[in-house]
């Protein structure tokens, strides 16, 4: 349908495009829902693409179909939200939407690595073409090259796995891979991790998404960039997590790296002035925490991260559309999304804490959670009073059903519908979630040392200024202050509410904000962006210089000198041997004598 | 003489006779020279395809005549599974190049010579692959060079065609001389110049094997135009008329690959040439990266594709250097797929140049809506060369990388995979700078002949087909490798 729309869409009336897309996406969703009943079956696409490539088939697996369903549902919702803001060449965009949707669902359901790789490549290609249409050449090139970097890692992992004797069938390959030697498995895991890191847009491989921040199209930002590739990355991570966590060295390294990137992503979220840019860093943070969960074998949380991702995208981007805002401002919606993200991170870090002793990576992850809390507080402080009071009032909505319709539908699609089909997997989910009801989950943030350590350390930094203020009090004021500081409920309330929570946390938040803004300016803008620009310019200049030196100056000029030298030599010889018979005869005689002498010397010797 | 020997003889004789007739009775058949040459090439392709069922039945057509019996030199034409993929590629590319030439070449009094030389160029390549003896191999090898050199000299575009033709001749001839020295040494060791005698085992000291293999690799490396032996290629490709460029890039470069497979890899055992594995892989990697960097830096669209050939030959050399089944299979597959895709890309560039009269990439842009068919075909070619699945080259690249991972140097294979990102970079640049953006040129585009568009579209379709249904070609390669690897390997 997608290719047909692109091919003949210009001849069809515009409303028909939308109906075609909505209808097709709706049918896909229905088929996926029905397919939940056929879990375990397969559809063979091709017996063998080339020799030893294995059977290309789709596997009806709940853990793959649910993400496909959520991704399709997200696409449909954002498509509907974006209906009034669509660009002029709608049929091409619509066709590409269906093309990317097909590729993504193929990737979710593929049972063969070759088919999955091909589907991921097509999805990347479709997204790159969308960027080309909406944002121009540079952004499209940057995006496609970025995604191809991830796919290069995936290709290395797949081929290396295949080289060890594992088939290209995903389940068998991954189970056979567990018995591989450490060195080989490390290469394979590194390849998969590179793919995951890029697709999920985790720092520092988030550059391919950065260009999208300027894109005005909701559909492009919300679904093509923020939903499809990250969901595919999360699902890839879910399937390959056992390989990454197989050996302790790799596990520790990946755990620490993901925790550190979570901290850095949040610092950049603080540092960006525009809220719409900072949400991308929140997505990067979510990706880091998901990898953190994967490396500690919290498979249920990794898989559930896809649902969290879809909900977050809906909350963040859905609220940017004027017609269907949940809240008056993007900021409050971002806070709501941040709370969900914080809850997910809390559960993840708590669950890891249950596994065993805390190490450095764990402290870093806790610190990232503290930073998220501070960010949320900062956003709340920045929101004007009127917005907080009129939280759920929106003058734009004419009818209440317009305000509540989309969230209800989203809730149905994301949560309830798949849950209807989980009786088969209820035991797994219940077993995975039973420990969440324990009281220790609630008490975890209260007793978490790193969490409070970060909050208090920032507060203490600000407190030093208050000590200065206290120092300038006169002795009289000090006596008066001490006399007034009687321990009473009102005074304690004032001290904690105003001094600690209000002013203290606010000052702490502003301090962190300043630090992270500067860090963002230094690292991202100055170092990475400028660095990558210099790298690209340097590579171009190096290529041009190498071209001039080697091709033009060395090779061409060298060859020219060689040819000139040969011609000059032959001219010289011609002059020496020209015209006069006696001179030529003399040369012949000398040459013959020389040859005779050499022959005699050889035979006589 | 029977049916199969008649077929292989016709592949050599028919174009030669037609070329001779085009020259001798040009006043009569001159106006139809292009059509006659095209039909001849088409018949050649059909003859090549007619040989496939015979090969599948296990029949290997063979003609052997005594040429200089005192010297042990024979006239042998032989077809086997190693020959067939290269013969097919050459025949296919020649047909499309000649059809393309119908629209590209402006008829004048020298037209019969032009098409005659194109046919002779094709005969040279076909004879190189069909030759069953060393002497005959070298004769056809040089015939390729002479025919292509005259074509560049007489019909080259630009003021420097003379010096470019001379440079091309000198450099590739130097490579040919190295090959000749190696061939003479083999002939001397075997006492006969037939390939069968060479393959049956010759006794050579290890130092001699090393020297001969090195001579072959350097000599054939010049023909393959791998770094740093590639300096003749960019100028030759850019100056030559487009049909000649297509045949040079898509078919002639593969003759170097054929030479490596036919001589050092068929005659010597893996242990004898194992010392060259790592240098070949490294040279392949360097060539891949260097060619891609130059393609990124280059401004002339023909030269961009030319440097792309240097990069793609790097893939092939890497695959050969792995000395593994997957690597060599991938390299041979890459020869076929590269031939198709490179011909497609050059045809697209020819269409762009003919329509706009411009070759500098900075002067082009916004042509997507002006020449949509060319844009679509170029998109297929660009995506194929970037290694997108379902488009031919992905299949061969997979096999080459797989071969690399089977060696004890997996890091080199990882470097090759990452280096392929440079291929993506120049491919994207080529397409987007030419076809995207605003159309800023003055005036309308020049209409392009259907004879130029038709083979372009067909090649784009073939690229898709080859990517979607690779099994038949894989079967050929499997047979070829059994021939190489089933013997001494």
Rounded to a whole number, what is the distance in Å from the CA of A35 to chain B's nearest CA?
A: 27
Q: What percent of chain A has pLDDT over 90?
A: 13
For chain A, give the number of residues. 605
Q: What is residue A432's predicted lDDT score, i.e. its pLDDT?
A: 52
CB-CB under 8 Å, B389 with A137: no
pLDDT tens for each residue of B247-291:
999 999 999 999 999 999 888 888 888 999 999 999 999 999 989
Give the dihedral sign, CA A65/A69/A75/A78: negative
Q: What does the block give as tokens for B282?
A: 């490294």
Higher-confidence position of B270 and A117: A117
pLDDT tens for each residue of B77-97:
999 888 999 999 999 999 999
Q: Which of residues 99-158 of B touch A (CB under 8 A)?
A: none
Q: Do A443 and A588 belong to one domain?
A: no
pLDDT tens for each residue of A479-507:
555 555 444 444 544 554 444 444 555 56
B172 at A interface, C-beta within 8 A: no
Rounded to a whole number, what is the distance in Å from the CA of B163 to chain A's nearest CA?
A: 9
Q: Do A87 and A234 belong to one domain?
A: yes
Task: Give domain status of residue A360, yes or no.
Answer: yes
CA atoms within 13 A on the CB side of A395: 1
Asked whether the predicted pLDDT for residue A460 surpasses 70, the reply is no
Q: What is residue A195's predicted lDDT score, i.e. its pLDDT?
A: 94
Candidate from B99-113, B361-375, B431-445 with smallest mean pLDDT: B431-445
Mean pLDDT estimate for chain B: 90
Q: What is residue A214's predicted lDDT score, i.e. its pLDDT?
A: 66
Task: Give domain status of residue A580, yes or no.
Answer: yes
Highest mean pLDDT among A64-78, A349-363, B293-307, B335-349: B335-349
CA atoms within 13 A on the CB side of A160: 27
Asked whether the predicted pLDDT for residue A470 surpasses 70, the reply is no
The confidence band for A458, taking pLDDT boundaries of 50, 70 and 90, is: low
Asked whether the predicted pLDDT for residue B402 surpasses 50, the reply is yes
- Spatial neighbors of A89 by CB under 8 A, at least 6 apart, are A133
Q: What is residue A486's predicted lDDT score, i.e. its pLDDT?
A: 44
Question: Kind of pairing, strands A56-59 and B73-78?
Answer: unpaired
Q: What is residue B277's predicted lDDT score, i.e. its pLDDT?
A: 94
Domains identified in chain A, total number: 2
CB-CB under 8 Å, B421 with A149: yes
Task: Give domain status of residue A245, yes or no.
Answer: yes
Q: Which domain holds residue A342?
A: 2-421+435-453
Q: What does the block give as tokens for B187?
A: 């002939």
The confidence band for A118, taking pLDDT boundaries of 50, 70 and 90, is: very high
Question: Kind of pairing, strands A42-46 and A56-59?
Answer: antiparallel
Task: Give domain status of residue A136, yes or no.
Answer: yes
**DSSP-assigned beta bridge partners for residue B74:** B66
CB nearest to A540's CB, from B297, B413, B420: B297
Highest mean pLDDT among A174-183, A453-462, B89-98, B436-445: B89-98
Q: What is residue A398's predicted lDDT score, i.e. its pLDDT?
A: 44
pLDDT tens for each residue of B122-164:
999 999 999 999 999 999 999 999 999 999 999 998 888 888 8
SS3 B61: coil
The confidence band for A136, taking pLDDT boundaries of 50, 70 and 90, is: confident
Contacts of A543 in chain B (CB under 8 A): 293-294, 296-297
Q: What does the block give as tokens for B151?
A: 């074509």
- Whose tokens are 């060079």? That residue is B145
Residue A58 has what DSSP assignment? E
Distance CA B438, CA B395 (A): 35
Residue/partner pairs of A246-251 with CB below 8 Å, 24 or more apart: A246/A178, A246/A185, A246/A189, A247/A182, A247/A185, A247/A186, A249/A182, A250/A185, A250/A186, A250/A189, A251/A295, A251/A296
Mutation to test the A interface, candidates B166, B169, B226, B231, most A Cβ within 10 Å: B231
Q: What is residue B327's predicted lDDT score, i.e. its pLDDT?
A: 93
Asked whether the predicted pLDDT for residue A196 surpasses 90, the reply is yes
Distance CA B246, CA B236 (A): 11
Q: Do A277 and A144 belong to one domain?
A: yes
Q: What is residue A387's predicted lDDT score, i.e. its pLDDT?
A: 52
Mean pLDDT across the stretch A225-252? 88
Task: Give domain status of residue A326, yes or no.
Answer: yes
Candidate from A73-82, A388-397, B316-325, B472-481 with smallest mean pLDDT: A388-397
Distance CA A467, CA B53 (A): 95
Q: What does the block give as tokens for A455?
A: 């909050």
pLDDT tens for each residue of B348-368:
999 999 999 999 998 898 899
Tell me which residues of chain A have a C-beta less than 8 Å from any C-beta of chain B: 48-51, 114, 117-118, 121-122, 125, 132, 136-137, 140-141, 144-145, 148-149, 152, 155-156, 159-160, 162-163, 187, 539-540, 542-544, 546-547, 550-551, 555-556, 559, 563
- Strand locations in B224-329 (E): none
CB-CB under 8 Å, A162 with B293: no
Nearest CA-CA partner of B347 in B462, B435, B246, B252:
B246
In degrees and rounded to multiples of 5, residue A217 shows phi and psi of: -80, 125
The confidence band for A476, taking pLDDT boundaries of 50, 70 and 90, is: very low
Asked whether the predicted pLDDT for residue A36 surpasses 60, the reply is yes
CB-CB under 8 Å, B231 with A556: yes
Q: Do A448 and A575 belong to one domain?
A: no
Rounded to a whole number, what is the distance in Å from the CA of B294 to chain A's nearest CA?
A: 6
CB-CB under 8 Å, B398 with A546: no
Mean pLDDT estimate for chain A: 74
**Taking the model in full, what pTM does it have?**
0.82
CB-CB under 8 Å, A117 with B294: no
Q: What is residue B98's predicted lDDT score, i.e. its pLDDT?
A: 94
Asked whether the predicted pLDDT for residue A379 surpasses 80, the reply is no
Tell me how many residue pairs between chain A and chain B have CB atoms under 8 A apart.
Answer: 99
Task: Give domain status of residue A141, yes or no.
Answer: yes
Task: Give domain status of residue A263, yes or no.
Answer: yes
CB-CB under 8 Å, A144 with B297: no
pLDDT tens for each residue of A418-453:
555 454 454 555 555 554 445 555 555 555 665 666
Q: What is residue B488's predicted lDDT score, i.e. its pLDDT?
A: 46
Q: What is residue A532's predicted lDDT score, i.e. its pLDDT?
A: 58
Q: What is residue B485's predicted lDDT score, i.e. its pLDDT?
A: 61
**Distance set, CA B421 to CA A490, B327, B416, B425, B456 (Å):** 67, 20, 9, 6, 26
Nearest CA-CA partner of B445 in B347, B367, B334:
B367
Mean pLDDT across the stretch B426-452? 86
Q: Do A447 and A582 belong to one domain?
A: no
pLDDT tens for each residue of A545-568:
777 776 767 666 776 777 778 778
Task: Give domain status of residue A552, yes or no.
Answer: no
The confidence band for A414, taking pLDDT boundaries of 50, 70 and 90, is: low
Mean pLDDT across the stretch A352-361? 73
pLDDT tens for each residue of A199-214:
998 887 877 776 666 6
CB-CB under 8 Å, B471 with A51: yes
Q: How many CB atoms lie within 10 A of CB A557?
A: 11
Mutation to test the A interface, candidates B170, B424, B433, B437, most A Cβ within 10 Å: B424
Mean pLDDT across the stretch A210-225? 74
Residue B131 has what DSSP assignment? B
Asked whether the predicted pLDDT for residue A124 surpasses 80, the reply is yes
Cα end-to-end distance, chain A, whole Å = 88
Chain B residue with minimum CA distance to A128: B428
CB-CB under 8 Å, B432 with A551: no
Phi-psi region of A495 (alpha: psi -120 to 50; beta: other; left: phi over 0): alpha
Mean pLDDT across the stretch B399-419? 94
SS3 B244: helix
């Amino acid at each position: 349908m997608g290719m047909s729309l692109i091919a003949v869409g210009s001849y069809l009336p515009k409303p028909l495009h939308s109906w075609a897309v909505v209808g097709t996406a709706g049918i896909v969703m229905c088929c996926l829902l029905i397919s939940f009943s056929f879990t375990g079956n397969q559809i063979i696409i091709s017996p063998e693409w080339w020799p030893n490539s294995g059977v290309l088939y789709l596997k009806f697996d709940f853990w793959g179909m649910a993400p496909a369903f959520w991704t399709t549902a997200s696409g449909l919702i954002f498509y509907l939200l974006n209906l009034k803001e669509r660009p002029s060449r709608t049929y091409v965009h619509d066709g590409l939407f269906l093309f990317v949707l097909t590729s993504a669902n193929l990737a979710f359901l593929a049972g063969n690595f070759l088919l999955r790789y091909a589907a991921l490549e097509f999805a990347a290609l479709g997204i790159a073409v969308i960027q080309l249409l909406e944002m121009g050449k540079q952004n499209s090139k940057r995006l496609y090259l970025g995604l191809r970097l991830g796919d290069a890692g995936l290709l290395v992992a797949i081929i290396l796995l295949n080289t060890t004797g594992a088939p290209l069938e995903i389940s068998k390959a991954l189970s056979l891979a567990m018995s591989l030697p450490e060195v080989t498995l490390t290469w394979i895991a590194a390849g998969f991790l590179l793919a995951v890191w890029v697709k999920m847009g985790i720092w520092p491989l988030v550059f391919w998404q950065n260009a999208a921040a300027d894109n005005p199209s909701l559909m492009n930002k919300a679904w093509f960039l923020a939903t499809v590739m990250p969901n595919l990355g999360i699902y890839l991570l879910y399937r390959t997590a056992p390989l990454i966590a197989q050996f302790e060295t790799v596990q520790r390294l990946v755990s620490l790296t993901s925790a550190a990137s979570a901290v850095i992503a949040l610092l950049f979220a603080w540092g960006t002035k525009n809220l719409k840019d900072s949400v991308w860093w929140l997505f990067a943070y979510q990706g880091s925490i998901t990898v953190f969960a994967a490396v500690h074998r919290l498979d249920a949380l990794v898989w559930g991260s896809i649902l969290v991702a879809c909900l977050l995208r809906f909350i963040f981007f859905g609220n940017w559309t004027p017609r269907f805002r949940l809240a008056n401002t993007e900021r409050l919606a971002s806070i709501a999304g941040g709370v969900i993200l914080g809850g997910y991170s809390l559960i993840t870090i708590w669950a890891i804490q249950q596994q065993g002793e805390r190490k450095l990576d764990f402290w870093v992850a806790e610190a990232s959670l503290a930073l998220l809390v501070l960010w949320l507080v900062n956003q709340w402080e920045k929101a004007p009073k009127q917005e907080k009071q009129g939280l759920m009032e929106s003058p734009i909505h004419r009818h209440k059903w317009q305000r509540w319709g989309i969230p209800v539908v989203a809730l149905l699609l994301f949560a309830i519908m798949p849950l209807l089909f989980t009786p088969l997997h209820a035991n797994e989910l219940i077993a995975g979630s039973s420990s969440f009801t324990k009281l220790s989950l609630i008490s975890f943030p209260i007793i978490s040392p790193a969490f409070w350590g970060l909050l208090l350390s920032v507060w203490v930094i600000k407190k030093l200024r208050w000590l200065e203020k206290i120092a300038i009090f006169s002795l009289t004021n000090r006596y008066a202050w001490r006399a007034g500081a009687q321990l009473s409920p009102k005074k304690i309330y004032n001290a904690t509410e105003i001094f600690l929570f209000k002013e203290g946390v606010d000052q702490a938040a502003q301090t962190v904000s300043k630090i992270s803004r500067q860090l963002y300016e230094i690292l991202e803008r100055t170092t990475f962006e400028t660095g990558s620009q210099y790298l690209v310019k340097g590579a171009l200049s190096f290529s041009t210089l190498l071209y001039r030196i080697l091709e033009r100056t060395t090779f061409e000029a060298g060859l020219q000198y060689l040819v000139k030298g040969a011609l000059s030599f032959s001219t010289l010889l011609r002059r020496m041997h020209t015209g006069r018979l006696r001179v030529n005869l003399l040369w012949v005689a000398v040459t013959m004598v020389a040859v005779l002498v050499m022959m005699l010397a050889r035979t006589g010797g | 003489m029977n049916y199969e020997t008649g077929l292989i003889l016709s592949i050599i004789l028919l174009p030669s006779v037609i070329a001779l007739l085009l020259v001798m009775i040009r006043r009569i058949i001159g106006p139809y020279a292009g059509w006659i040459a095209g039909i001849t090439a088409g018949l050649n392709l059909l003859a090549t395809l007619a040989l496939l069922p015979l090969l599948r039945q296990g029949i290997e057509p063979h003609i052997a005549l005594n040429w200089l019996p005192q010297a042990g030199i024979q006239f042998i034409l032989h077809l086997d599974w190693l020959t067939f993929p290269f013969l097919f590629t050459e025949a296919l590319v020649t047909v499309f190049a000649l059809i393309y030439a119908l629209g590209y070449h402006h008829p004048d009094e020298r037209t019969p010579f032009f098409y005659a030389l194109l046919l002779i160029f094709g005969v040279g390549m076909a004879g190189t692959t069909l030759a069953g003896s060393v002497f005959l191999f070298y004769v056809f090898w040089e015939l390729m060079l002479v025919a292509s050199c005259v074509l560049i000299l007489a019909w080259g575009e630009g003021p420097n065609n003379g010096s470019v033709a001379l440079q091309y001749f000198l450099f590739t001839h130097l490579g040919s001389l190295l090959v000749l020295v190696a061939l003479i040494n083999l002939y001397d060791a075997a006492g006969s110049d037939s390939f069968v005698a060479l393959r049956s085992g010759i006794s050579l000291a290890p130092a001699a094997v090393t020297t001969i293999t090195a001579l072959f690799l350097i000599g054939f490396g010049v023909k393959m135009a791998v770094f740093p032996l590639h300096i003749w290629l960019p100028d030759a490709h850019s100056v030559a008329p487009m049909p000649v460029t297509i045949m040079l890039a898509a078919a002639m470069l593969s003759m170097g690959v054929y030479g490596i497979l036919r001589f050092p890899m068929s005659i010597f055992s893996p242990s004898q040439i194992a010392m060259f594995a790592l240098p070949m892989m490294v040279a392949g990697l360097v060539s891949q990266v260097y060619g891609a960097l130059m393609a990124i830096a280059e401004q002339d669209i023909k030269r961009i594709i030319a440097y792309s050939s240097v990069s793609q030959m790097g893939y092939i050399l890497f695959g050969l250097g792995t000395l593994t089944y997957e690597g060599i299979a991938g390299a041979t597959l890459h020869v076929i797929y590269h031939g198709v895709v490179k011909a497609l890309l050059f045809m697209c560039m020819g269409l762009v140049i003919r329509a706009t009269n411009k070759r500098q990439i900075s002067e082009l842009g916004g042509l997507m809506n002006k020449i949509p068919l060319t844009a679509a075909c170029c998109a297929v070619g660009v995506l194929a060369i970037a290694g997108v699945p379902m488009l031919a080259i992905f299949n061969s690249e997979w096999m080459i990388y797989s071969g690399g991972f089977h060696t004890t140097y997996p890091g080199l294979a990882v470097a090759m995979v990452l280096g392929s990102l440079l291929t993506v970079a120049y491919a994207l640049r080529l397409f987007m700078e030419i076809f995207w953006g605003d159309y800023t040129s003055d005036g309308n585009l020049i209409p392009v002949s259907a004879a130029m568009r038709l083979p372009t579209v067909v090649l784009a379709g073939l690229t898709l087909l080859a990517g979607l249904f690779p099994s038949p070609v894989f079967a050929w390669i499997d047979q070829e490798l059994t021939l190489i690897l089933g013997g001494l390997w």
